[in-house]
Every structure is written in structure tokens, then in C-alpha cells.
Amino acid sequence: MSTAELSQMKSDADALFRRKRIFAFALPALVLAYFVYIFFAFDIPGLIKRANWDNAVTLASDSWSYKTHVTRDNRTGETDVVIEGERKGAYPEGQRPDWVTGDDIITVDLGGDTFVRLLPDRRTEIDIPGFGMIEAQANGRQITSNLPADIPDWINASDRRVAITLPEGRVAITGSKTEVFNYFPGWELFWFTFDSPYYGHGLTEIVFGPRIDPARANIVGAVSDWWNNPMWLHKNVVWAIGETILMAFLGTMGAALVALPLAFMAARRFAPVMIIRAASRRLFDFLRGVDALIWTVVLSRAFGPGPLTGALAILITDTGTFGKIFSEALENVDAKQIEGVASTGAKPLQRYRFGVIPQVVPILLAQILYFLESNTRSATIIGAITGGGIGLLLTQAIQTQKDWEEVVYYIILIVGVVMAMDSFSGWLRGKLIGRKD
Amino acid sequence: MTDATFGATPAGHTVEGIRADYMAQVQRRRLYGGLTLMIFVILMVSGFTVADSRNAGGFWDGLNQLGDYPGEVLAEAWANRANLPALIVRFLPALIETVNIAAVSTLVGAGAGLVLSLLSTRGLARWPRLTPLFRRLMDIMRAMPEIVIALVLIFVLGGGPVPAMIAIAIHTAGALGKMYSEVAENADLKPVEGLTSTGATWAQKMWLGVLPQVAPNYISYSLLRFEINIRASAILGFVGAGGLGYELRNSMSWGLGRFDEAAAIFLLLFGTIVLFDQVSSRYRNRLTEGHAK
């Protein structure tokens, strides 16, 4: 090797190194610059200012706890105890939690030596250790209280309304009513509401104990009362989950059934006519390019809200995707096997059945099952748009901005279902085409 | 060839025996195949019936009306075709926002997925005992539909692109993490051993020993994800997360008379998706096959 060649190689290597070095710095710099641009394009400083952290706190605390309202109507003087402020969660007449006592003077024990006393004549006393006794009197729409002018920031007082937020609970007094909110961990009434005879009974008691409701066997009655729980609506939730899975199943399988014959028309080996091939390929591109969102919008105009619309939207979008994947699989089919079948005198249809299908079935099944799982997720989103399935329940629960425990319940269910579908499709894939992963 | 060749064979190994066994097996397989097919057909038909009955509008009625909405949109867009270029320009910022959401969430998600995948791959993990934990974490992130996180974040942060971005990034991290870790499992460990002998830290070993091997596949998967994320970000816009989807919902909820806007948005979305599909599939082919065709 001559010196000239050597120096040429050296300078080449130097140039390569320089290029790589520039690349190694330029790429991260580019990404960084993009993030800076996004920082301002998405208005992140403004977002932080606008973000409602109180909402986040409500969400976080409400999702694992429930509140019980003790409400005294200041006009009629009647007091009721209601869970989550819903009529369906009201304690029945004569029944009260043990932290609410007294008849003329109702004492609410919020815990931590904090007491709220609902006195006759629309008076309210709140005894807070370390702060003292707050007295409030409601007169018509006016509230008079003994609060000093300089109040701490956990009290919000005007002549129309006094609101006190304590770690133990919350008190709100207006002219019309005095409300005490007491917080407890857990999802109350998840199993049974107060009108069910099984409320307050444990699992072993229901399964093995004596008959609670004389009309029904314990297990039958308990399951039916749980199923028809008016607060948590388990029946509707299960139906909604079923609808979501149904959308995914019908959409995926329907798309596979439609796409298979079309894929033969798009594969070079099986469709010698160029125009047919090009037409079916453009059809796939079109179906995929018009996104699921647009299909959903268009279809929901025609079919109205519901699971069928969602299923059809998945079906149409995935027909495009499956068509593309299937036709690629068909192009890569080994010709020897088809020749072998043809040599026995098989007709074209038989050639497809015994020469082609056995080769592509594992690939197709793997794809279909993979899409089944991913479509369960899409069905949740499509359900939120068209109005069907668990996606609808979720959006409704979030938009009403209360009952965050229900939102968390739905989220857990959705994630559980998707994970179950994932492992189910993986298991089925292993069964049908042999374990590979 | 006769069975005499085999000498004294057990009864089942004669030609007749084999044939009988074979026929029995074929029949059994046909039976199973038939049963599976029957169950499948029953599931499809009953599923369709249930879906049809729970839908607000019936299937056959809907089928007749299928063309109505696109027809109206097209007719109106055609009538106002002079406006179309102006409308497309007007919605261009929304389109850019949609693409930006997808791009940022792909970048962030790919970064997080990369770390998660290396932490959960056997042989490469920083803390081998914690691999099941990271795997579970990825499973949960993957199972979380974007809309769930987006809706919750919209409640806290208000509408806009950021909730969508975070939601898509979380799902992307889970999905890419799984694919990445499947690739990383097949990576050659010799470079890593070599780096270990020089006293490299874990991050250095991954950066210099593993990443160069897996980068083409990783980038290819990330590009595929980017395509998927463009669609996802358009959909999330529809529930209030900004971008094209949001504009589409607005133009639809105005009711009649705004179909030209809807048509412009349809057109933009369609064009964007097709464009990015084509570009990314070309680059992906180049990455996985080494060279451009």
C-alpha cells in the first residue's frame, strides 16, 4: 500500500469521524430545539398557571374515599344522613351511622375531638380543638356567627354562607341548610345499598349464615341485589363492558372476513390483472387513510349511537389494514407447495385451499388476534365518540365531575379487560399456531 | 411395497391400520374444525344481533342512509369549493398541532420505552430482580387507553394539546417498551461483556454496547408508532384535546351549514395520514432491509 493511499484512507476516516461527531451532537440539539419550540407552541407556562390543582386534589381524594352528608334543612328542621348526597344512598328512617347521635340536639362526631352540633332554632355549633367554638345562626337568608374578622384561610365566611374545611371533614352553612361532610376511606355501598337486606353482612355470613331475606336463598338474593345495585349500576357496567368487547370482536372478525378475499385480489401472484390489483390496493389505502375517527363520525350519522356503529367503524378501518397485511403475506407464499398440489390435478380453488391457506393461516391468525386486543382499546375510544360501551360511561362519569370513585372503577375495569384480552389472545395464538413467543 | 418388508408388525402398523388411523384423525380434525366454525358463526351472528338491537338506529335502515351524510358534505363542499383553499389554510395550525402532539408523544414515549425495555430485558437489566415489576408497569401502561388518561388530565389541566400528549406518550412508552425489549433480548451480549471488562457503567454499556445493535429496529418501530399516534392525536382532539379533531367536532356541532369546514378537515386529515404512512413506510423498509429499494 502506498503512502498516498494510506493518507487518503486516513483522511477518509477522519472525515467519517467528523461527520459522526457532528451527527452525535446535532441530533440531540435538534430534539432539544424541537422541545423548546413545543414548550412555547403548547403554551406550557400558561397551562401550569391555568391548571386547576384543586380538581386534582378532589380527584385523588375522592377516588379512594366517600363522603357522608349530614344535612339539616333550616326551614323544616329535618335532618337526614345521605351517602354521597344521592337520594339512593340515604340512610332509611330510624337508622343512622354511630357518629351521628342525639334527637333535639344532633351531635356529629367528625373524629379528632371535632364535633358539630345541630341545635334547634337553626343554630349550629362547631367545636374545633385548638381553635374554639364557632357558633352560627341562620336567619332567613342571613348567617350570623361569632367568627372574628380575621379568620384563617380554611374558613370562608360571608353573611350568606360559612364554609369550614377541616382535615376531618367539611361544614357548609347557608340560610336554607346546614351540611356536614364526613369522609371515610373505601367505596361505600359498592356491594349493597341500604334498601337491600344484605347491607352490612359479610361474605361468609351471606354464604354460610342463616337466611337473611326469608323470600330468597342468600346467594341468589345477594347476587341479584348486587347486580341491581342502584348506586353503582353493576348491571349497566357489565353490559357496557360487553358492548365494548363485542365492538372489538365483531369489528376485527368482520374485517378479517371481508379483507381475505380482497387480499387475494391485491396480491400479484393471484391477480394477474393489473387494474384489479391496483384498484384493491387503492381501496385499502383509502380505508386506512380515512381514519377511524372519520369513519366513526360518518357511520354514527347513519346508524345512530350504539355498539353496531363502533363495530362497523372498526370493521371498515381494519379491512384496509388487514387487506394490506394479508396481501403482503400472500405475496410471500412459497410457490413449491402450490405446484405440488397442482401436480395432483387440483383445481384452482383446491390449490388455494391446500396450497396457500395452510401457509398463510398462522400469519393471519397472529395478526387478527393481535388486532383483537388493540381494538378492545380502540373500542373504548370509539365508544366515547359514538356513545356506546364503557367509553360512554367513562366520559359521562368524568363530565359530571363527581363520583370519581366510579371513574376509577371504570378505569380499573377497562385496564383489566384489555389486559385480559391481551393474555387471552396470546394464549389462543399459542394454542392455534404453536408457541412461538 | 408390502407389509412383508416390515416383518412382523403390530396390527396398528399395517397399511390398513395406518389408513384407518389417518381417516379417524382426519374425521376428528374435520369435526373440531366444523365445531370451531359453528361456534364462530354463532358468535358472529348473535353478536351482530345484540349489537343491532342495542344500537339507536337499525343496521338495515342505516345502510340506506349511509351515503346521506358524505353526500351532503360533498355536495356542500362542492358548492362552496371556492372557499376550500382558504379553509385549508385556516385549519393548517390545527393540523400542525395534531402532528406536534404525535411527534412529541412519540419522542417522549420512545425515550421512556427505551429505558423501560432495557430495565426489563433479561441479561441487560440494571436490577434483575425488578424486571417483573417493570414488565407489569409496561403492561399497565400499554393497556391504558389514551382516552382514559386524556379525559382525566383534561379535567385537571384544562383542554389543549398537553393532556393528549401525555396520554399518548404513556401508552406509547408501554407499547414500544414491549417491542423494544423483544428486540433487545436478541442482542449480542459480547459487546456488553467487553464494555464490562473496561469498567463501564450500566448506562455506558447500554448506550455503547446495546443501542448500536438495536437502533435500526427501534427507529423502525418508533416510526410505525408515529403513524399510529397521528391517528390517536386526531381522535383525542375530538374529546377536547385540541388539534384537528377538536376543530372537526366544532364544525360538526354547529349543525347544518358548516359541512365545507368538515370537508376541509376530512381532506387535511386524510392527506396527512396518507403522507406520513408513505414516508414512514419508505424509511422503515430502508432501515430493516439495509438499503433503499
What residues contact A436, with CB distance under 8 A and at least 6 apart?
A430
pLDDT value of residue B1: 43
Q: Which of the four pLDDT bands, split at 50, 70 and 90, describes residue B114?
A: very high
Whether A144 and A263 map to the same domain: the answer is: no
Which of A163, A185, A207 is the last residue before a domain boundary?
Answer: A185
From the list B96, B87, B100, the residue with the least C-alpha distance to B250 is: B87
Q: Does B279 touch chain A (CB under 8 A)?
A: no
Specify whether B14 is located in the same domain as B94: no
Residue A27 lies in a domain: no
Which of A193, A7, A160, A164 minimizes the C-alpha distance to A82? A193
Lowest mean pLDDT among A91-105, B134-148, B175-189: A91-105
Which one is predicted more confidently, A437 or A138? A138
The alpha carbon of residue A146 is apart from the nearest alpha carbon of chain B, in Å, by 36
What is the rounded average pLDDT for all residues in chain A?
A: 83
Q: pLDDT band for B293, please (50, 70, 90 cuts).
A: very low
Amino acid identity at A347: K
Q: Say whether pLDDT at B12 is over 60.
A: no
Residues 43-62 of chain B whose Cβ lies under 8 A from any Cβ of chain A: 43-44, 47-48, 50-52, 54-59, 62
- Closest CA relative to residue A303, chosen from B55, B256, B67, B44: B55
pLDDT at residue B86 is higher than 90: no
Radius of gyration of chain A (CA): 33
State whether A249 and B70 contact (CB < 8 Å).
no
Mean pLDDT of A8-33: 89
DSSP secondary structure of A170-191? EEEEESSEEEEEEEEES-TTSS
Q: Which residue has the higher pLDDT, B194 or A224?
A: B194
User: What pLDDT, on a 0 to 100 scale, did the predictor assign at position A385?
Assistant: 85
Residues B10 and B44 in one domain: yes
Tally of domains in chain B: 2
Q: Does a structural domain hold residue A60?
A: no
Say if residues A66 and A83 touch (Cβ distance below 8 Å): yes
pLDDT in tens, B235-284: 888 887 788 888 888 887 655 557 788 888 888 888 888 898 888 888 88
Give CA–CA dist B91/B271, Å, rounded. Answer: 13
Dist CA B27 CA B31 (whole Å): 6
pLDDT value of position B290: 58
Residue A255 has pLDDT above 90, yes or no: yes
Contacts of A249 (CB under 8 A, 6+ apart): A372, B43, B47
pLDDT digits 0-9 by tens, A60-106 = 777 777 778 888 887 777 788 887 767 777 777 777 777 887 777 88
**Residue B76, in any domain of the structure:** yes
Q: What is the DSSP string of A198-260?
A: TTT--HHHHHHS--SSTTS-HHHHHHHHHHT-TTT-HHHHHHHHHHHHHHHHHHHHHHHHHHH
Comparing CA positions, the residue from B265, B161, B227, B120 lying closest to residue A298 is B265
d(CA A279, CA A285): 10
Task: Using the predicted structure, report yes or no on whether residue B172 has a pLDDT greater than 90.
Answer: yes
Dihedrals phi, psi of A188, to nearest 5 degrees: -70, 150
For the cut 70, the answer to whether the pLDDT of residue B11 exceeds it is no
What domain range includes position B160? 71-289
Mean pLDDT across chain B:
85
What's the average model confidence in pLDDT over B18-38?
Answer: 91
Report the amino acid identity of residue A327. S
**CA dihedral of residues B76, B81, B82, B83 (deg, nearest 10):** 60
pLDDT given at position B2: 47
> Same domain, yes or no, for A355 and A268?
yes
The three cell numbers locating residue A359: 401457509
Q: Is B15 on the interface with A (CB under 8 A)?
A: no
**Model confidence at B3, in pLDDT bands (50, 70, 90)?**
very low
* Domain co-membership, B31 together with B89: no
Across-strand partners of A82? A69, A90
Domain-embedded: residue B277: yes
Tell me if B229 is assigned to some domain. yes
Q: Which residues from chain A sit within 8 angstroms of residue B36, using beta carbons?
A: none
A273 DSSP 8-state letter: -
Q: Which residues in chain B touch residue A291, judged by CB atoms under 8 angstroms apart? A: 231, 234-235, 269-270, 273
- ipTM reported for the complex, 2 dp: 0.82
B59, part of any domain:
no
Least confident window among A92-96, B31-35, B159-163: A92-96
Do B25 and B167 fall within a single domain? no
On whether both A172 and A286 belong to a single domain, the answer is: no
Confidence band for B9, pLDDT divided at 50, 70 and 90? low
Q: Is residue A139 part of a domain?
A: yes
CB A337 within 8 A of CB A359: yes
Q: Percentage of residues in chain A with pLDDT exceeding 70?
A: 98
Chain A residues with CB under 8 Å of B62 CB are 299, 302-304, 308-309
CB atoms within 10 A of CB B179: 18
Of A301, A307, A394, the CB nearest to B151: A394
B63 domain residue, yes or no: no
- Determine, yes or no, domain membership for A180: yes
Task: With respect to residue A51, please indicate whether it lies within any of the assigned structural domains.
Answer: no
Can you tell me the distance from the alpha carbon of B62 to that of A311, in angstroms, rounded to the nearest whole number?
A: 14
Pairwise CA distance, residues A374 & B224, whole Å: 15
Same domain, A270 and A328: yes
Same domain, A250 and A361: yes
In a domain, A209, yes or no: no
Q: Last residue of some domain: A152, A185, A218?
A: A185
Kindly state whether residues B50 and B76 are assigned to the same domain: no
- Are A363 and A272 in the same domain? yes
User: Do the domain assignments include residue B258?
Assistant: yes
Q: Which residues of A touch B238 (CB under 8 A)?
A: 293, 385
Q: What's the pLDDT score for residue B261?
A: 82
When pLDDT is averaged across residues B149-169 and rounded to a whole number, the result is 88
For residue B118, what is the domain's CATH number? 1.10.3720.10
Based on the fold, state whether residues A319 and A177 are members of the same structural domain: no
Count other Cβ atoms within 10 Å, centred on residue B164: 37
What per-residue confidence (pLDDT) applies to A97?
A: 79
Q: Which residue has the higher pLDDT, B162 or B68?
A: B162
| Section B90-99 average pLDDT | 90
B150 and B284 co-located in one domain: yes
The alpha carbon of residue A400 is apart from the nearest alpha carbon of chain B, in Å, by: 11
| Count of other CB atoms within 10 angstroms of residue A412 | 10
* Structural domain count, chain A: 2
Q: Is residue B126 part of a domain?
A: yes
| Residues A353 and A275 both lie in one domain | yes
Residue B46 has pLDDT above 70, yes or no: yes
**Within a domain: residue B261?**
yes
Q: How many angstroms separate the CA atoms of A295 and B22, rounded?
A: 49
Q: Among A188-197, A276-285, B32-41, B122-131, which stretch is predicted with the lowest mean pLDDT?
A: A188-197
Asked if B32 reaches chain A (Cβ–Cβ under 8 Å), the answer is no
Q: Which of A150, A185, A220 is the last residue of a domain?
A: A185
Residues B23 and B76 in one domain: no
**pLDDT value at A254 more than 90:** yes
Q: Are residues B23 and B168 in the same domain?
A: no
A402 vs B111, higher pLDDT:
B111
Say yes or no: B254 contacts chain A, CB-CB below 8 A: no
- Name the helix (H) or strand (E) containing B288: helix B259-289
CB-CB under 8 Å, B270 with A377 = no
Task: Kindly state whether residues A144 and A252 are assigned to the same domain.
Answer: no
SS3 B199: coil
The pLDDT value recorded for residue A293 is 83
Q: Is residue A39 part of a domain?
A: no
Q: Confidence class of residue A435 from pLDDT cuts 50, 70 and 90?
A: low
What is the reported pLDDT for A42? 84
Tell whether B49 and B81 lie within a shared domain. Answer: no
Q: What is the C-alpha separation between B172 and B178, in angstroms, rounded?
A: 10
Percent of the residues in chain A that have a pLDDT greater than 90, as a whole number:
11
Least confident of A156-160, A288-292, B1-5: B1-5
Task: Answer whether residue A227 is part of any domain.
Answer: no
Q: Which residues pair with A379 in a beta bridge?
A: none
Considering only CB atoms, A42 lies closest to which of B107, B161, B252, namely B161
Question: What is residue B226's predicted lDDT score, i.e. its pLDDT?
Answer: 92
- Same domain, yes or no: B16 and B95: no
Q: How wide is the angle at C-alpha B243 spanned by C-alphas B239 and B246, nearest 5°?
A: 40
Least confident of A17-26, A49-58, A277-286, B152-161: A49-58
In terms of domains, do B224 and B284 share one?
yes
Domain check: are B189 and B164 in the same one?
yes
User: Which residues on chain B are in Cβ contact (under 8 Å) with A321?
Assistant: none
- Provide the domain limits for residue A316: 234-433
